[in-house]
Amino acid sequence: MPTAVFSLAGALVFGAADFLGGLSAKRISALLATAVAALSGCVLLFVALPVIGGEWTAHDVLWGAISGAVGAVGIALLYACLAIGPMSILSPTTAVVSAIVPVLYGLVFAGERFDAIGYWGLGLALVAVLLVGFVPERGAVRPSLRGILMAVGSGAAIGGFYITIDQTSDESGIVPLILNRGVNAAIMFAAVAVVAIVAALRSRAVDAVPAAGGHDPERMPRADRSALATGIRLAVACGVVDAVANALLLFGIRAGDLSIAAVLGAMYPAGTILLAAIVLRERIAPVQWAGLVLALAAAAMLAVA
C-alpha cells in the first residue's frame, strides 16, 4: 500500500513539475530551465536534510551521483526526441520504456514476485501509461528511426535512474537525491555554457559583417528581461516541486517493490494533463481519460498485490 500511494502521488507531483518546466521553457531555453530547476531542487533538499535526515556514506554518494548523470542523459534525449517528433508517439514511448526497464530488472535481477493480481495490475498500468501520455495530433507523421531510438534511449535512461537510486540504503535518507540534483545541475549548466559560447562565437561572426542601421547587442528589450525573470522564477518553482516528487518516489521505492514504484511513477503525464486542463483550459482527449481511469484501477490492484 505505501509504495502505491507514494509512487502515484510522486507521479502526479512530477506532472506538476513538468507543467511548470514547460511554462518556463517557453520563456527561456529548455536547457537553462532544467539547470535552474535542478539547482533549486538541490538547495531545497539540502535545507530539508536536517529535518528528514540521512547518513553520508561513499556507497550512497556514489549511487546518488550516478543517478544524476543517468537522469541528465534521459532528459537530454527526451528533449531531443520530442524536438524531432511526433510527440504523440514518442512521449508515451519514452514513458512506457521508463517503466518496463525497472520492471524487468526487478523481476529478473531483484527477485521480485507478485500475486496474480499484481501482474495484472502491472500490465494494466503499462497500458494506462501509454494512453495517458498519448496526445493526438492532426496530421501527425510517422516517427523516424532516429526519433524512436532517442525515445527508447531516453526511457531506458529514466528507467536507469529508478534502478540506480534503488541501490541506495534506507539510512541515507535524501542524501542520494542531493547528489542526484547536484550532478544534474552541474551537467546542465555545463551544457548551457557550451551553448552560450557557441552562440557568442556566431554572434561575433555576424557582427563582423556591417549591417544597415546597426544595433546594440548589449541592450535587452524590457519585454525580454521580463520573460527571462518569469522563466527563471517558474524554473525555480519547477525545481522545488520536482524535488518533492523525487522524495515521494524514493520513499515509494524503499517502501516496497521497484517494479510497482517505477510503473506508477511513469504516470507523471497525468499530472501535467490535469493541470493543463485546469489552468490552460486544454482539452483532455477521450483516450487520455480512459488512461486516467485505468491508472487508478491499476494503482488499486497494485496496492493490494
Distance in angstroms (rounded) separating the CA atoms of residues 129 and 265: 10
Structure-model confidence comparison of residues 67 and 18, the more confident one? 67
Angle CA 74–131–28, to nearest 5: 45
Structure-model confidence comparison of residues 30 and 172, the more confident one? 172
Name the region of 213 (left: φ>0; alpha: ψ -120 to 50; beta: rest): left
Q: How many CA atoms lie within 13 A of 13 on its CB side?
A: 18
How many Å separate Cα 129 from the centre of its chain?
Answer: 14
pLDDT tens-digit map of 220-234: 566 677 888 898 999
pLDDT of residue 217: 44
- pLDDT greater than 80 at residue 151: yes
Radius of gyration from C-alpha coordinates of the chain: 20
Which cell numbers hold the place of 240?
A: 522545488
The answer to whether the beta carbons of residues 242 and 35 sit under 8 Å apart is no
Distance in angstroms (rounded) separating the CA atoms of residues 88 and 132: 11
- pLDDT greater than 70 at residue 153: yes
The position carrying cell 510527440 is 87
pLDDT tens-digit map of 101-142: 888 888 888 777 777 887 887 888 788 877 876 766 665 567
- From 126, 136, 130, select the one nearest 263 (Cα to Cα): 126
Structure-model confidence comparison of residues 25 and 48, the more confident one? 48
The percentage of residues in the chain with a pLDDT greater than 70, rounded to a whole number, is: 87
- From 163, 169, 171, 190, select the one nearest 71 (Cα to Cα): 163
Which cell numbers hold the place of 297?
A: 484501477
Distance in angstroms (rounded) separating the CA atoms of residues 226 and 117: 53
How many Å separate Cα 248 from the centre of its chain?
Answer: 14
Q: What does the chain come to in residues?
A: 305
The answer to whether the beta carbons of residues 303 and 255 sit under 8 Å apart is no
pLDDT bin (cut points 50, 70, 90) of residue 284 is confident
Element (DSSP H or E) covering residue 13: helix 2-25
pLDDT bin (cut points 50, 70, 90) of residue 215 is very low
- pLDDT greater than 60 at residue 281: yes
- pLDDT greater than 90 at residue 21: no
pLDDT bin (cut points 50, 70, 90) of residue 257 is confident
pLDDT tens-digit map of 74-93: 888 877 776 676 766 777 78
Q: What is the DSSP string of 108-177?
A: HTS-----HHHHHHHHHHHHHHHHHT----TTPPPPPHHHHHHHHHHHHHHHHHHHHHTTS-GGGTTHHH
Angle CA 187–130–180, to nearest 5: 20
- pLDDT greater than 80 at residue 23: yes
Of 13-17, 131-135, 207-211, 219-223, the range with the lowest mean pLDDT is 207-211
Structure-model confidence comparison of residues 99 and 178, the more confident one? 178
Q: Where are the domains of the chain?
A: 2-204+233-303
Distance in angstroms (rounded) separating the CA atoms of residues 41 and 89: 30
pLDDT of residue 222: 64
- From 45, 60, 8, select the one nearest 170 (Cα to Cα): 60
Of 53-57, 88-92, 164-168, the range with the lowest mean pLDDT is 88-92
Angle CA 252–255–261, to nearest 5: 35
